[in-house]
């Protein structure tokens, strides 16, 4: 059971009273070795597809080819496996990105050092970029190893409006499919047609290390990328020192329209990017810079860092969030009701981070359209639980993935099969969501007496025998989590007087909302 201290201090006065999402279901998948989920998307059938890497060959995994394989899971809306596929060869593979394609299949992207089993055409050397087109049931339709005799990685891919694909990553090759290298590793973009043929590829960067982690198509048909740069020459202008966020805006044919370095005097690593309908860009990552360059408000070793640029690359606002320890932002999505949801991992227990269960937790925050921190929530147990990806769901909630070592806290009830497993967490909508608002749902939940002093009876209009009741204060911080029977009492004796939000989860997956006043 989680306990949160209720501190109505002035430092929280700026945080809005909208409550954060609660867990609808959570599942672990894996085997006895290392299993890490890096990318998740909702599918056209309201299920989910997940991609990552596994070194297991037991438990949920079968068909391993040796070393580390890409591992793809197709889940239904309740998190039940519909199919699963281990992909690779006898070397090591990493699955870094997956998206559903217009024909209801999937494109998996990552990198490989194999040249057998599922992989052919590897150029030798280190890793080659690897893209695999799967059918709707996980059958390989085509695969492509892309690169040269150096080290070539693809970290993100999405389908483009012309039915092709845009890929982004890094390379230090200068042969094979790669025609230019400016020094060390370059940011690398590859455009494929719908059958995997290269239409164009380009490298961008300077004489130091540069790379991309995410790419998105913009409303004008071009592309925007976020990554990192340590260079200060060739394509890179304005580096603030060490590594900076590097944002590139490209035309549809890969010409640089503008570039922007963002950061301070220490290391700043960009992780994800979203493009708004009007062409503005919001990027996230993590910063080690202290009030230098573009960074203000840094609190700890690494903080979440979110920056908004307009369509011309002009700086709009920036926000740091975190505590005194390590906080890594990995993914960002636009919230359906406005603002931005950012997911990552935190080992902090102070500053903006409340409720860390121990070790490292998934850490979810919401920012307003102007960058104000609205709410935060940690998810995890007492060990290391790292988040890498988040997506919106059709129910106005969220789905997120990463890996979990924990077997307690929010991970309790899921079976850990050894070391770290894929951890998939399905979240409800925000309480303030227009489609599922507390005001419209609270009348379906009976709470009596209300106000109450010691105990309150909780009843939902169903035959559900067991309930899980999550109690949050009006700043959205969870203060109690209890299991009870439908129509039974909830112990509120230890709560301080005030108004609380209740999220009541039934055994059949429904969630009911209500407010309770503690006397």
What would the pLDDT profile of 315-363 be if each residue is shown by its tens digit? 999 999 999 999 999 999 999 888 999 999 999 999 999 999 889 999 9
Is there a contact between 427 and 23 (Cβ–Cβ < 8 Å)?
yes
pLDDT of residue 502: 83
> What residue segments make up the domains of the chain, in order of their start?
21-427, 438-518
Give the residue from 357, 260, 358, 363 showing the smallest Cα distance to 302: 363
| Fold exhibited by the domain 21-427 | Methylamine Dehydrogenase; Chain H (2.130.10)
The CATH class of the 438-518 domain is: mainly beta
pLDDT of residue 303: 98
**Residue pLDDT tens, the chain, 519 long:** 333 333 333 333 334 334 689 999 999 999 999 999 999 999 999 999 999 999 999 999 999 999 999 999 999 999 999 999 999 999 999 999 999 999 999 999 999 999 999 999 999 989 999 999 999 999 999 999 999 999 999 999 999 999 999 999 999 999 999 999 999 999 999 999 999 999 999 999 999 999 999 999 999 999 999 999 999 999 999 999 999 999 999 999 999 999 999 999 999 999 999 998 888 999 999 999 999 999 999 988 999 999 999 999 999 999 999 999 999 999 999 998 889 999 999 999 999 999 998 899 999 999 999 999 999 999 999 999 999 999 999 999 999 999 999 999 999 999 999 999 999 999 999 874 333 333 333 346 789 899 999 999 998 876 567 888 878 765 445 678 788 888 889 999 989 888 787 878 776 656 677 788 899
pLDDT of residue 336: 85
Q: How far is Cα 21 from Cα 519, in angstroms, rounded to an integer?
A: 26
What would the pLDDT profile of 125-135 be if each residue is shown by its tens digit? 899 999 999 99
Q: How far is Cα 311 from Cα 315, in angstroms, rounded to an integer?
A: 10
pLDDT of residue 464: 64
Residue whose pair of structure tokens reads 């503005």 in the numeric block = 280
pLDDT of residue 466: 82
What is the sign, positive or negative, of the torsion defined by CA atoms of 357, 362, 367, 372?
positive
- The 3 state secondary structure assigned to 146-180 is ECCCCCEEEEEEEECCCCCEEEEEEECCCCCCCCC
Classified as helix, coil or strand, 378 is strand
Q: How far is Cα 163 from Cα 332, in angstroms, rounded to an integer?
A: 25
> Tokens standing for 344?
């990552």
Q: How far is Cα 29 from Cα 53, in angstroms, rounded to an integer?
A: 12
Same fold, 21-427 and 438-518: no
Is there a contact between 307 and 315 (Cβ–Cβ < 8 Å)?
yes
């Amino acid at each position: 059971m989680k306990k949160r201290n209720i501190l109505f201090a002035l430092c929280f006065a700026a945080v809005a009273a909208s409550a954060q999402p609660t867990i609808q279901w959570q599942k672990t998948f894996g085997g006895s070795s290392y299993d890490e989920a890096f990318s998740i998307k909702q599918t056209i059938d309201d299920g989910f597809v997940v991609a990552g890497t596994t070194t297991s060959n037991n438990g949920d995994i079968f068909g391993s080819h040796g070393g580390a394989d890409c591992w793809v899971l197709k889940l239904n809306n309740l998190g039940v496996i519909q199919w699963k596929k281990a992909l690779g060869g006898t070397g090591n593979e990493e699955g870094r990105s997956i998206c559903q394609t217009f024909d209801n299949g999937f494109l998996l992207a990552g990198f490989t050092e194999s040249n057998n089993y599922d992989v052919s055409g590897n150029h030798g050397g280190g890793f080659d970029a690897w893209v695999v087109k799967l059918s709707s049931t996980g059958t390989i339709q085509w695969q492509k190893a892309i690169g040269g005799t150096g080290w070539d990685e693809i970290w993100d891919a999405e389908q483009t409006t012309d039915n092709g694909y845009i890929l982004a990553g890094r390379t230090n090759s200068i042969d094979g499919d790669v025609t230019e290298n400016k020094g060390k590793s370059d940011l690398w973009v590859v455009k494929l047609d719908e059958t995997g043929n290269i239409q164009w590829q380009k490298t961008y960067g300077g004489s130091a290390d540069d790379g991309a982690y995410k790419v998105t198509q913009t409303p004008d048909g071009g592309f925007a990328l976020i990554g990192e740069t340590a260079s200060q020459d060739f394509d890179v202008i304005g580096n603030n020192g060490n590594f900076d966020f590097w944002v590139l805006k490209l035309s549809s044919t890969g010409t640089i329209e503008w570039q922007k370095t963002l950061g301070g005097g220490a290391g700043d690593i960009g992780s994800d990017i979203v493009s708004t309908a009007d062409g503005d860009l919001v990027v996230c990552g993590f910063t080690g810079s202290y009030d230098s360059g573009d960074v203000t408000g840094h609190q700890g070793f690494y903080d979440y860092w979110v920056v908004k640029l307009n369509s011309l690359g002009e700086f709009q606002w920036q926000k740091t969030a975190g505590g005194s320890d390590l906080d890594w932002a990995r993914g960002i999505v636009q919230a359906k009701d406005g603002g931005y949801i950012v997911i990552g991992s935190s080992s902090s227990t102070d500053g903006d981070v409340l409720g860390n269960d121990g070790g490292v937790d998934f850490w979810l925050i919401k920012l307003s359209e102007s960058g104000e921190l609205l709410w935060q929530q940690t998810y995890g147990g007492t060990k290391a639980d790292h988040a890498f990806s988040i997506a919106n769901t059709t129910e106005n909630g969220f789905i997120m993935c990463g890996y979990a070592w924990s077997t307690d806290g929010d991970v309790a009830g899921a079976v850990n099969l050894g070391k770290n497993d894929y951890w998939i967490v399905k979240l409800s909508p925000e309480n303030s969501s227009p489609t599922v608002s507390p005001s419209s749902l609270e009348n379906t939940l009976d709470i009596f007496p209300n106000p109450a002093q010691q105990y309150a009876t909780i009843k939902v209009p169903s035959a559900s025998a067991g309930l899980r009741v999550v109690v949050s204060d009006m700043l959205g911080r969870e203060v109690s989590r209890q299991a009870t029977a439908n129509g039974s009492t909830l112990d509120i004796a230890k709560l301080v007087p005030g108004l609380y939000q209740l999220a009541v989860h039934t055994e059949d997956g429904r969630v009911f909302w209500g407010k309770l006043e503690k006397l």
